[in-house]
Amino acid sequence: MQSQSDDLTPTEQNDFIAAGSQLPEFWQRPDIEWGRKKALLRSLIDKVILQRVVRDRITIRIVWRGGEVTEREVEPRVHALSALSRGAEMEVRLLELAHQGDDDAAIAAKLTKEGFRSPRRSYVPVRTVQIVRQRHRVLRQSTPARSHHIPGWLTVSELAMAADVSRSWIRHRIRNGVISVRQNALHKRVLFPDAAATIAAIQELKSGVRQHLDFNPPATE
């Protein structure tokens, strides 16, 4: 039941209508209590209609007393990228930019400019770009992949890119002994033979065809 304190007198309603052009300033006045603001709105609005067009878009239709109608759309938070109307399109575009060599911040800015957003933001955060890129095992390259290439050898990063796995995937299997490889004595880093057989062996390990790989040189070497 509506309380008497929320009702406006005819004089208050007339004053409010006359001050329509000054409404934004009036609304910000600290001496106007929220209860009075709600009462003022009720004197102007006939009804509000909400309609969920799709999962990530709601249409708001305000019918004002007198018959005027105001419509607008809002984009509520959703639980995942797949719940966005343009989620699949954004993912394709994101990966396209990543493959072109754009860094995560540049990708986020471009996607936002193109009208995309994340599930919980009105823009695309850098973190969203990182999550999608890493989920698809697209490595970010700040420099060309072969800028420090050692002839005859592949670094962990180079092998990961060539075999379409992540660097962490390879490093984890080195740590647990699934991939046996020693640090190169000359270059002081883990290196793999730069050969098609090396890449094929990693892919076979990934697919489960092989359970262990040994890249250590024979004892006679």
CA separation for the pair 122, 120 (Å, rounded) = 7
- Mean pLDDT over all residues of the chain? 82
CA separation for the pair 36, 147 (Å, rounded) = 68
Q: Taking the CB of residue 133, how many other CB atoms lie within 10 A of it?
A: 20
Report DSSP state, residue 216.
P
- pLDDT tens string 65-122: 878 898 888 778 778 888 888 889 999 999 999 988 888 888 989 999 999 998 888 8
Percent of the chain with pLDDT over 70: 85
Assess whether pLDDT exceeds 80 at residue 9. no
pTM: 0.43
Residue 196 pLDDT class (50, 70, 90 cuts): confident
- pLDDT tens string 78-93: 788 888 888 899 999 9
| CATH class of the domain comprising 153-214 | mainly alpha
Q: Delimit the domains of the chain by residue range.
A: 4-74, 81-135, 153-214
